Amino acid sequence: MEHDLSILRDDSLEAIRVARSEAELERVETDLLGRNGKFAAAMKRLSALSRDERPRIGKLIQEVRRTIDQALADRKRTFGTHRHTFDPTLPGERPVRGHVHPITTYSRRIIEVWRSFGYDVHEGPELEEDWYNFEALNFPKDHPTRDMHDTFFIKGRPDLVLRTHTSTVQARSVFHRKPPLKFVEIGRVYRHEATDAKHESTFTQCDGIAIDRHMTMAHLVGTLHVFFKRMFGDDVKIRTRPSYFPFVEPGIEMDLQWTINGKTEWLEMLGAGMIHPNVMKSLKLDPKKWNGFAFGMGFDRLVMLSYGITDIRMLYNGNLDFLKQF
């Protein structure tokens, strides 16, 4: 029995010494000290010994047990210490590297194009005053034209809305500046409406405005056509349709041709028009002296067209498998 105990002790110490991880050490501990472990087996054998032998062997077993407990505790500590020690010679853990979202990549590209046309870039708040979002743009309070943009409201603050378009920049940026001026704004907008492959309730728009003397629809359509040529190449196909927006007169919509899943179709890209004289007056500009054009395009749709994305909702659902492709 003494011989068996000394073998058990030596084997145990060796197993503890060579354990290479905390998990492995735990397995060794269970194997030695668990309910069906080697120790329990030794204790069982103790009961089979004669009364005379029992105290001496019992003492030996306790000694072996203490030795093993101590060795386990020491080995555990070395793992613990290793974990908390900074070893400057070990290679570092590489942080996971991400990249910017396709909407961000694209807005940087678009901004470059508008800058090359001499346009400034402005920003406005997403939580906007009702006045800038609606009233200044000729959407009077309680007027049916407000039905065009259902939005999200703020409890207890009837003067604030989540902006429904980036056209807010027209009033915000023109108000404190003197024409002639040209600028664009890219940003998030919100609408309380059903979503589908081409509509989201949170999406991105790019608005632009140019105010000068003697501006015409030809300037507007020409500017947008050159812009789309720069984005998609000289043979890009555009078409315009008459449309209504309370803040322009006349108003148009512009579509771009795209081929998706083998089918060629028109995709509505933007609303635009000549700035309404009522808006000029809200901006404290004399409509007899100054005029201009404004446009507001669905930015996500540009991104969709460029990358051949068939569902706008992919751009906002945070699915990494999708985003990693860009």
**Residue choice 136, 279, 304, 312 for contact with ligand FA5 (CB under 6 A):** 312
Q: Does 248 engage in binding with ligand FA5 (CB under 6 A)?
A: yes
**Residue choice 8, 279, 301, 315 for contact with ligand FA5 (CB under 6 A):** 301
Q: Shortest CA distance to 208 belongs to which of 277, 254, 241, 243?
A: 254
For the bound state, the minimum distance from the C-beta of residue 130 to ligand FA5, rounded and expressed in Å, comes to 15
Stretch that binds ligand FA5, among 86-94, 198-206, 230-238, 313-321 (CB under 6 A): 198-206
**Residue choice 27, 101, 199, 230 for contact with ligand FA5 (CB under 6 A):** 199
Which residues, at least 6 apart from 58, have a Cβ–Cβ distance to it below 8 Å? 46
Which residues, 267 to 286, sit near ligand FA5 by CB under 6 A?
268-273
Which residues, 117 to 176, sit near ligand FA5 by CB under 6 A?
165, 167
**Residue choice 102, 124, 292, 296 for contact with ligand FA5 (CB under 6 A):** 296
CB atoms within 10 A of CB 33: 16
For the bound state, the minimum distance from the C-beta of residue 85 to ligand FA5, rounded and expressed in Å, comes to 54
Q: Does 298 engage in binding with ligand FA5 (CB under 6 A)?
A: yes
For the bound state, the minimum distance from the C-beta of residue 301 to ligand FA5, rounded and expressed in Å, comes to 5
Stretch that binds ligand FA5, among 62-70, 89-97, 180-188, 266-274 (CB under 6 A): 266-274
Pairing outcome for strands 248-260 and 263-275: antiparallel
Cβ contact 269:204 at 8 Å:
no
Token duo for residue 49: 């010994």
Q: Does 219 engage in binding with ligand FA5 (CB under 6 A)?
A: no
- CA dist., res. 278 & res. 288, Å (int): 12
Q: Closest CB to ligand FA5 among 29 and 271?
A: 271
For the bound state, the minimum distance from the C-beta of residue 323 to ligand FA5, rounded and expressed in Å, comes to 18
- C-alpha radius of gyration, the chain, whole number: 37
Stretch that binds ligand FA5, among 49-57, 79-87, 123-131, 202-210 (CB under 6 A): 202-210
Cβ contact 128:160 at 8 Å:
yes
**Residue choice 203, 227, 258, 290 for contact with ligand FA5 (CB under 6 A):** 203
Q: Closest CB to ligand FA5 among 65 and 276?
A: 276
Q: Does 309 engage in binding with ligand FA5 (CB under 6 A)?
A: no
Q: Does 300 engage in binding with ligand FA5 (CB under 6 A)?
A: yes
Beta-carbon-side half-sphere exposure of residue 68 (alpha carbons within 13 Å): 25
Interaction site with ligand FA5 (CB under 6 A): 165, 167, 191, 193, 199-200, 203, 205, 207, 245, 248, 251, 268-273, 294-298, 300-301, 312
